[in-house]
């Protein structure tokens, strides 16, 4: 299992990590809710926040991932913003990315820097397109 938080910036990437999650989709603590609350799966019963790096286990099927996240990591930037991924402005998203980088500074490799640059360029392109239209 790859525990590089930078690989889980997007909800879809996090969602994919929950293939073997312990609870079914009908439960409150399902994989989609987990991914929305910033978690990616690190085992059938444990998950890590891609921003603050907090690892939580002992999940119960009726747990609300947002509530648990806030309870155990109130300082987390992702918890503080508490937004759907689609509601983020580019600026907010960049701040979030910077936080992810800062929080795992000692683990940052050249790969991440390159990915970050690619992401910045694609966002810049998007912004420019938006400005033109």
Q: Kindly report the backbone phi and psi dihedral angles of residue 32, in degrees, each rounded to the nearest multiple of 5, phi listed first.
A: -65, -45
Mask 44-83, x = binds Zn ion (CB under 5 A)?
Answer: -----x-xx--------------------x--x-x-----
- Smallest distance, Å, CB 79 to Zn ion? 6
The yes or no reply on residue 41 touching Zn ion (CB under 5 A) is: no
43: left (phi over 0), alpha (psi -120 to 50) or beta: left
**For residues 29 and 114, which CB has a smaller minimum distance to Zn ion in the complex?**
29
Binding residues for Zn ion, rule CB under 5 A, total 6
In the complex with Zn ion, which residue's Cβ is closer, 47 or 52?
A: 52
Q: How far is the CB of 41 from Zn ion (least distance, A)?
A: 15
Judged by beta carbon, residue 9 or residue 73, the one nearer Zn ion is 73
∠ CA 76-37-57, nearest 5°, is 85
Supply angle C-alpha 107, 55, 65, rounded to 5: 130
Q: Which residue intervals of the chain are DSSP H helices?
A: 11-16, 31-36, 65-72, 77-81, 90-103, 110-132
User: Which positions touch Zn ion (CB under 5 A)?
Assistant: 49, 51-52, 73, 76, 78
């Amino acid at each position: 299992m790859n525990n590089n938080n930078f690989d889980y910036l997007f909800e879809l990437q996090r969602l994919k990590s929950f293939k073997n999650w312990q609870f079914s989709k009908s439960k409150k603590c399902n994989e989609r809710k987990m991914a929305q609350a910033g978690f990616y799966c690190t085992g059938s019963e444990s998950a890590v926040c891609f921003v603050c790096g907090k690892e939580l286990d002992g999940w119960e099927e009726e747990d609300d991932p947002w509530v648990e996240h806030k309870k155990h990591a109130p300082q987390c930037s992702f918890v503080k913003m508490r937004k759907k991924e689609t509601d983020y402005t580019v600026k907010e998203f960049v701040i979030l990315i910077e936080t992810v980088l800062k929080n795992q500074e000692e683990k940052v490799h050249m790969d991440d820097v390159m990915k970050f640059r690619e992401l910045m360029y694609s966002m810049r392109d998007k912004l420019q397109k938006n400005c033109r239209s």
